[in-house]
Amino acid sequence: MYRQVQQRLRSAPPRYWLVLVLVLFFIGLPTVITSFQASEWTLVLIFAIVIMGLNILVGYSGQISLGHGALMALGAYTSAILIHRYQVDYLVTIPIAGLVTGLIGFLLGIPALRLSALYLALATFALAVVTPSLIKRPAGLTGGVQGILISSPDPPQFAKDAFASVTSGPPMSSDQWMYYLSLISALVLFWLAWNLIRRRPGRALRAIRDREVAAASYGINIAGYKTMAFGISAFYAGIGGSLYGLAIGFVSPDTFPLALSFQLLVGTVVGGLASIAGPLIGGVFTFWLPIVSSQFVGSQSWIPAQIASVFQKAGPAVTYGALLIVVMIFAPNGVAGLIRTGYMRLQARLRGAGDRGTGQMPPDPQTV
For the chain, domain boundaries:
40-256, 258-354
Dist CA 167 CA 28 (whole Å): 10
pLDDT, greater one: 355 or 367: 355
pLDDT, greater one: 333 or 177: 177
Nearest-10 crossing angle of helices 258-271, 334-357: 10
* Residue 276 CB coordination number (10 Å): 19
Give φ, ψ of 321 to 5 degrees. Answer: -65, -45
What is the model's pLDDT at position 294? 64
Asked whether residue 130 carries a pLDDT value surpassing 70, the answer given is yes
- In the chain, the percentage of residues whose pLDDT exceeds 90 is 46
Least confident of 43-47, 102-106, 229-233, 339-343: 339-343
Dist CA 357 CA 368 (whole Å): 21
pLDDT in tens, 222-265: 999 999 999 999 999 999 999 999 999 999 999 998 889 988 99
Dist CA 290 CA 43 (whole Å): 13
Dist CA 291 CA 190 (whole Å): 26
How far is C-alpha 223 from the geometric centre of its chain's CA atoms?
25
Give φ, ψ of 107 to 5 degrees. Answer: -65, -35
Dist CA 266 CA 64 (whole Å): 12
Task: Identify the band that residue 336 occupies on the pLDDT scale cut at 50, 70 and 90.
Answer: confident
- In the chain, the percentage of residues whose pLDDT exceeds 70 is 84
What is the model's pLDDT at position 293? 65
Give φ, ψ of 148 to 5 degrees. Answer: -130, 130
pLDDT in tens, 310-321: 555 555 666 667
In contact, 260 and 69? CB cutoff 8 Å: yes
> Residues 201, 205, 210, 215: what is their CA dihedral angle, to the nearest 10 degrees?
60
Least confident of 33-37, 146-150, 286-290: 286-290
What is the model's pLDDT at position 252? 93
Asked whether residue 97 carries a pLDDT value surpassing 60, the answer given is yes
H or E element in which residue 343 lies:
helix 334-357
Q: What pTM did the predictor assign?
A: 0.89
Mean pLDDT of the 150-178 span: 85
In contact, 235 and 98? CB cutoff 8 Å: yes
Asked whether residue 26 carries a pLDDT value surpassing 90, the answer given is yes
Instruction: Look at residues 153, 49, 155, 62 and name the one whose alpha carbon lies nearest to residue 98.
Output: 49
pLDDT in tens, 57-70: 999 999 999 999 99
In contact, 179 and 265? CB cutoff 8 Å: no
* Residue 86 CB coordination number (10 Å): 8
What is the model's pLDDT at position 368? 39
Task: Identify the band that residue 346 occupies on the pLDDT scale cut at 50, 70 and 90.
Answer: confident
